[in-house]
């Protein structure tokens, strides 16, 4: 196993490479349609040339490090073990009680999950590269819809689509929680945790908090690339903070579905299968990528009750002033719906988790 400093270096190089790749792709694909970019290129020609050179160096360096980490055997993979859902009562220590104990254990498990991610540079690279694909490709694929957008969007499809893209990313990322829980079950890590005085609640909180942090980082990358494309919220920095909080809250609620499936089935394949079945219908029958006025009548009716649409409209009302007549009510409605989903999903997760560890 290699040192944490090497992991952080790999992460920093991968992150820098992703940002530069996203910026370069954005400039190439959207140059002819964006006056902001044309002015940027004309006034920063030398800087762009330097960035392209740095990009080539960082890309080769990141590829070399990823290859070395993947081929040198420095990453230790746990051998699959039989799923153990119970342990002898005599070997299980009762955890200490108290809010500070829960917070302390959650922090340690949060750090452990982050280190596990950093020690897998391939997974880290593609986890950060995914938002680049979303923001660059989706805005180019549907850019012609800009002419059909309501007046509040001012014909800028990138600014319209940012809300849907960040929520799509959060929606898909939330389902990775279940697969991580299945990995802990199969590797025997969860059974080993039960033999320690760690808080049982912290085991779940550490997993969920890590996933929420990852969603916020990915969403921040999307917002940064959108800014380079000339799309930024009319509400400024407070708007960014509110949108990130909404995405994190949304990810918390939807992670419960993935965790429940993983704890019930103990199968990563089942989690992925159900996640794919839920993701695409909910996404395409929503206002994430297309305004409600352009949806078929029956889809428009479904989208009114679709939690994806409700949350996207709340984020979009922060991104675009005038998108809805009462943005405060739209945001509060979204938070109410997310809270209701969270109560059901997290409650189910806690129930199944208690059954697994009993």
pLDDT score at 80: 45
Structure letter (DSSP) for residue 44: -
pLDDT score at 245: 92
pLDDT score at 19: 56
Q: Is residue 45 part of a domain?
A: no
Q: Is residue 13 part of a domain?
A: no
Within 10 angstroms of residue 162's Cβ, the number of other Cβ atoms is: 30
Q: Helical H runs in the chain?
A: 4-30, 35-43, 45-71, 99-118, 121-141, 157-174, 176-187, 189-194, 200-228, 236-265, 268-284, 297-303, 307-319, 327-357
Q: Is residue 39 part of a domain?
A: no
Give the residue among 286, 289, 162 at the shortest CA–CA distance from 221.
162
* Gap between the Cα atoms of 110 and 204, Å rounded: 10
Q: Is residue 3 part of a domain?
A: no
Q: Is residue 263 part of a domain?
A: yes
Q: Is residue 323 part of a domain?
A: yes
Contact (CB, 8 A) for 185 and 268: no
Q: Is residue 101 part of a domain?
A: yes
Q: Two tokens at 38?
A: 């044309």
pLDDT score at 344: 92
pLDDT score at 61: 65
Supply the range of the domain harboring residue 335: 84-357
Q: Is 242 exposed, middle or buried (0-12, 13-18, 19+ CB in 10 A)?
A: middle
Q: What is the mean pLDDT of each run of 10 residues along the chain (358 residues)?
A: 48 56 56 57 66 65 57 44 45 52 84 79 71 77 73 77 87 80 83 82 84 87 87 87 91 87 86 81 85 86 90 90 81 92 90 83
pLDDT score at 92: 45
Q: Is residue 158 part of a domain?
A: yes
pLDDT score at 87: 43
214-to-39, 163, 180, 251 alpha-carbon distances in Å: 34, 17, 13, 10
Residues in the chain: 358
Work out how many domains the chain is built from and give that number: 1
């Amino acid at each position: 196993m290699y040192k944490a400093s090497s992991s952080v270096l790999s992460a920093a190089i991968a992150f820098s490479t992703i940002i530069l790749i996203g910026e370069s792709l954005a400039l190439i694909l959207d140059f002819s349609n964006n006056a902001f970019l044309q002015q940027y290129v004309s006034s920063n020609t030398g800087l762009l040339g330097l960035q392209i050179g740095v990009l080539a160096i960082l890309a080769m360096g990141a590829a070399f490090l990823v290859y070395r980490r993947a081929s040198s055997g420095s990453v230790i993979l746990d051998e699959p073990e039989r799923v153990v859902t119970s342990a002898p009562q005599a070997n299980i220590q009762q955890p200490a009680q108290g809010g500070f104990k829960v917070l302390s254990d959650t922090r340690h498990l949060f750090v452990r999950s982050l280190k596990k991610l950093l020690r897998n540079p391939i997974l880290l690279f593609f986890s950060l590269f995914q938002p680049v694909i979303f923001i660059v490709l989706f805005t180019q694929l549907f850019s012609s819809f800009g002419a059909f957008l309501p007046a509040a969007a001012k014909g800028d499809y990138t600014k319209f689509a940012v809300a849907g893209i960040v929520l799509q990313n959060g929606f898909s990322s939330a389902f990775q929680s279940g697969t991580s829980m299945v990995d802990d079950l199969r590797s025997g890590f969860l059974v080993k945790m039960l033999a320690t005085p760690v808080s049982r609640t912290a085991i779940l909180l550490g997993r969920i908090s890590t996933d929420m942090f990852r969603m916020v980082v990915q969403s921040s990358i999307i917002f940064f690339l959108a800014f380079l494309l000339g799309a930024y919220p009319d509400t400024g920095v407070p708007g960014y903070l509110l949108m990130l909080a909404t995405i994190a809250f949304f990810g918390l609620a939807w992670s419960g579905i993935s965790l429940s499936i993983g704890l019930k089935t103990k199968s990563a394949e089942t989690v992925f299968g159900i996640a794919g079945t839920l993701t695409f219908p909910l996404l395409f029958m929503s206002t994430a990528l297309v305004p409600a006025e352009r949806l078929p009548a029956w889809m428009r009716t479904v989208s009114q009750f679709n939690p994806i649409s409700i949350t996207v409209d709340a984020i979009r009302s922060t991104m675009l002033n005038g998108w809805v007549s009462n943005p405060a009510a739209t945001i509060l409605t979204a938070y109410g719906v997310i809270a209701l989903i969270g109560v059901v999903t997290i409650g189910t997760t806690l129930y199944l988790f208690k059954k697994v560890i009993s």
